[in-house]
Structure 1
């Protein structure tokens, strides 16, 4: 069952909450700490996220979930519309006690200024039966901050995707692949054209392209041979007559 705003308040699952952050069936977490790729922290102040840059954001509020309530986190629509996306969102398990953090990436081509206490995650809460497998996680805020700094420095770097490098690699692969294809199909076309030229040359003499039957070609050739023999005095008919006399 999804909890309404009054039920969320009554359950006490959000500590250090603000009235203006409650929705009809949700609560919006606000920014307290921002961590850049070098591990530098910006607490209670804004930060300009450059295109393709990734930062970690930690909530001001603490979430206190009993064993019979699960939370679901999604990034705020306003940030999505500006080209910012969150990596690690989804289920917050029962038994979680502490702030929430997420990595935010700027996928747009323009910089974005994260304001102090700006809303970044929207939480909805679901009440259910107590599960057989229960787990209590009590987070120390200082340890949580240090863990996020370690991930920011060692795992992601300043940008989540090297867009320019990726573009060069993809274009190189495409061009290389097309070169191989062009060479292959060029050779195939050359062979086909060679066979075609030979075929056309032979067919010029053997096939009736002009619409005249085969026999007409042979009759014409026979007449030409006979005329040449007559002109040279070697008519076979005349030679045979003389021999008989």
Structure 2
């Protein structure tokens, strides 16, 4: 029952994406395409466009074939498909790149209602809590960021951009105020408490975020908010929300 509900929810989300797309022949990353290894008249192999890259003066399209193999090709050998070729239920829920944070949250809320039908009450609550937390970190919120190595703290607005392995945590403008998100966990090392001269209550509101190349020590406004940030960040990294073409 659960898998059937998941499949139905994903099917409806994908149909909504298709309705929003224009029919001008545009190829979108993550979307199904028709491919030929020879000429356009022989179109017939279905695939998924994974990425578009530049090699010298050429634009290369990387696709995944039904057998899982990747192929590099050119635009002339591709055309968009109006319906997905993947089996419904494969991979995480996919949301298009141009969705705003509010639209992502709205679609995700609708999705959660479908996913939780037929599930045990405890499982429903657990899934809903993860979805709510993931939605919160996408919208963003204010946290205290400690400057490690010095007794200093700043109030910053944090939010997540992208999802899964491409998720980034940002807290301002510039490359030094963002990082690839790896995981979030409970209280930071005890040395942070001593360095920042935190009370027991303040330290209980702290958590740490591991990025690619740095670790952040952060403090939330309350215990519930702290737990939601940890759960939400980890849910996004795990791919609970996934955007096509997310950076």
Question: Would you say same fold, with TM above 0.5?
Answer: no
Query: TM range, normalised to the smaller chain?
Result: under 0.3
Q: Of the two, which has the highest radius of gyration?
A: 1
Query: Greater relative contact order (Cα 8 A, min sep 6): structure 1 or 2?
Result: 1
TM-score w.r.t. length of structure 1: 0.19
